[in-house]
């Protein structure tokens, strides 16, 4: 939890003034629903108990001064009417990208900004979305620009996809940082609805403490993400290519893989396998993964925490064996398979896009210390652990 006075004092030391507004936004964890977003499927996510904080004071000119405790020695400066992309994935691009989008919605002036974060930048928990949501929440509130929470998350996604940042992230990151609630999982239905990237958003209550359990993200920060030749674009293309083929085999309208049920897939599995075994594997993962998300909601609502854990483990096996997200990254397989064998683990799966060593586990709280010790023994040194329970999304302090 952030100590408000601590950062107010730091802001005063840097800028010789006090902030007008303070906002925070959390990092996020993908709980289940892996690579389902671009297949118009389902996903569950949560905010983790790591946050980015943005403190802002309005200026009377067009100058932006930004100080980051993680990246700055002195404040960086640029002008609102002359925001250029920095070199080498400059962290300032995230600030500029958000401000560029906000300016399209209403008039703003210059600002003094302080950014601090304990969201790991290499942990697959979307530190970028946390920066975007914390900053946008503060700026929109300060300048009294009205924007709904979903639209704010969309705006931040546009900022990250845009020319100043240029990262083609999906909606999950910003939605999870902006829309989540404490002790709830966020359900997203990625079937687009007009201008909306999702057609359903629901809050699913979950009380992990009742079951003596907690989530934990496990990261080997030394393993650099490597999409390689079998990465994200290839898998996405395989899924897209399968859609007209499935429509022809099933003799029904198929707009995306979310339109194919498990029983329908099983009826044409052999034919798909003959046409293209690798494509069949990708389709099988997505079709069953969508069902696992829905089954997870039922398990949570019925208090079946062990069943929920089993679904997480099944999702992890599918992602590795059918979607092959460990391609050129054997560390991911080692991490997930080692975790399956440890006492107190209710479920474990890869987390995120893959091709890196990041996992999500559901672990009994009283076994957390022994879990870490045993996994370190199986895997080796260098793992970072981020235990969390679902937290609130972005808001003003």
Give the pLDDT of residue 229. 43
Query: What's the pLDDT score for residue 227?
Result: 45
Q: Where are the alpha helices (DSSP H) in 37-106?
A: 92-103
Residues 67-120: tens digit of each pLDDT: 999 988 899 999 999 998 987 558 899 999 999 999 999 999 999 999 999 998
pLDDT given for residue 228 in this prediction:
46
pLDDT at 222: 85
Contact 218, 192 (CB under 8 A): no
In the prediction, which pLDDT does 1 show?
A: 47
Secondary structure letter of residue 304 according to DSSP: -
Joined together, the tokens standing for residue 284 give 């099988």
Secondary structure, 3-state, the chain: CCCHHHHHHHHHHHHCCCCCEEEEEEEEEEEECCCCHHHCCEEEEEEEEEEEEEEEEECCCCEEEEEECCCCCCCEEEECCECCCCCCCCCHHHHHHHHHHHHCCCCCCCEEEEEEECCCCCCCCCHHHHHHHHHHHHHHHHCCCCCCHHHHHHHHHHHHHCCCCCCCCCCHHHHHHHHCCCCEEEEEECCCECCECCCEEEEEECCCHHHCEEEEEEEECCCCCCCCCCCHHHHHHHHHHHHHHHHHHHCCCCCCHHHCCHHHHHHHHHHHHHHCHHHHHHHHHHHHHHHHHHHHHHHHHCCCHHHHHHHHHHHHHHHHHCCCCCCCCHHHHHHHHHHHCCCCEEEEEECCCCCCCEEEEEEEHHHHHHHHHHHHHHHCCCEEEEEECCECCCEEC
Model pTM? 0.94
Per-residue burial over 249-287, b if 16 or more Cβ lie within 10 Å, else e, is: bbeeebebbbbbeeebbeebeeebeeeeeebbbbbbbbb
Structural domains in the chain?
4-205 (3.30.230.10)
For residue 167, the model assigns a pLDDT of 85
**β-strands 63-68, 111-117 pairing:** parallel
Give the whole-angstrom CA distance, residue 174 versus residue 190.
Answer: 14
Q: What is the CA radius of gyration of the chain?
A: 22
pLDDT of residue 101: 97
pLDDT for residue 332: 94
For 152, the token pair is 């704010």
Give pLDDT < 70 ranges for the chain: 1-4, 88-89, 225-230
Q: Which residues does residue 26 pair with via DSSP β-bridges, in sequence order?
A: 51
Output the pLDDT for position 88. Answer: 56
């Amino acid at each position: 939890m952030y100590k408000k006075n601590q950062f107010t004092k730091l802001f005063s030391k840097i800028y010789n003034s006090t902030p007008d507004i303070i906002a925070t936004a959390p990092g996020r964890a993908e709980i289940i629903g892996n690579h389902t977003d671009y297949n118009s499927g389902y996903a569950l996510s949560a905010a983790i108990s790591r946050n980015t904080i943005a403190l802002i004071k309005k200026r009377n000119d067009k100058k932006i001064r930004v100080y980051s405790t993680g990246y700055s020695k002195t404040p960086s400066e640029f002008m609102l009417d002359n925001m250029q992309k920095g070199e080498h994935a400059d962290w300032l691009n995230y600030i500029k990208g958000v401000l560029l989008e906000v300016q399209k919605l209403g008039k703003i002036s210059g600002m003094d900004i302080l950014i601090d974060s304990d969201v790991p930048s290499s942990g697959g928990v979307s530190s970028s979305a946390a920066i975007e949501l914390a900053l946008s929440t503060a700026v929109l509130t300060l300048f009294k620009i009205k924007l709904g929470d979903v639209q704010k998350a969309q705006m931040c996604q546009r900022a990250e996809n845009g020319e100043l940042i240029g990262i083609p992230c999906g909606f999950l990151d910003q939605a999870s940082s902006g829309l989540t609630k404490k002790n709830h999982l966020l359900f997203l239905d990625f079937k687009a609805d007009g201008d909306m990237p999702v057609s359903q958003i629901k809050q699913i209550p979950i009380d992990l403490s009742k079951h003596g359990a907690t989530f934990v993200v496990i990261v080997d920060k030394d393993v650099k993400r490597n999409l390689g030749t079998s990465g994200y674009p290839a898998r996405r293309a395989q899924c897209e290519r399968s859609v007209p083929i499935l429509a022809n085999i099933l003799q029904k309208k198929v707009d995306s893989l979310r339109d194919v049920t498990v029983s329908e897939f099983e009826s044409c599995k052999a034919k798909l396998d003959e046409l293209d075994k690798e494509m069949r594997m990708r389709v099988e993962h997505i079709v069953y993964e969508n069902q696992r998300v829905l089954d997870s909601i039922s398990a949570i609502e019925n208090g079946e925490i062990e069943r929920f854990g089993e679904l997480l483990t099944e999702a992890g096996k599918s992602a590795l064996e059918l979607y092959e997200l460990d391609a050129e990254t054997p560390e991911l397989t080692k991490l997930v398979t080692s975790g399956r064998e440890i006492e107190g683990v209710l479920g474990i799966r890869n987390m995120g896009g893959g091709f890196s060593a990041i996992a999500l586990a559901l672990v009994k709280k009283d076994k957390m210390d022994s879990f870490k010790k045993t996994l370190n023994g199986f895997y080796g040194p260098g793992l970072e652990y981020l235990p969390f329970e679902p937290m609130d999304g972005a808001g003003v302090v």
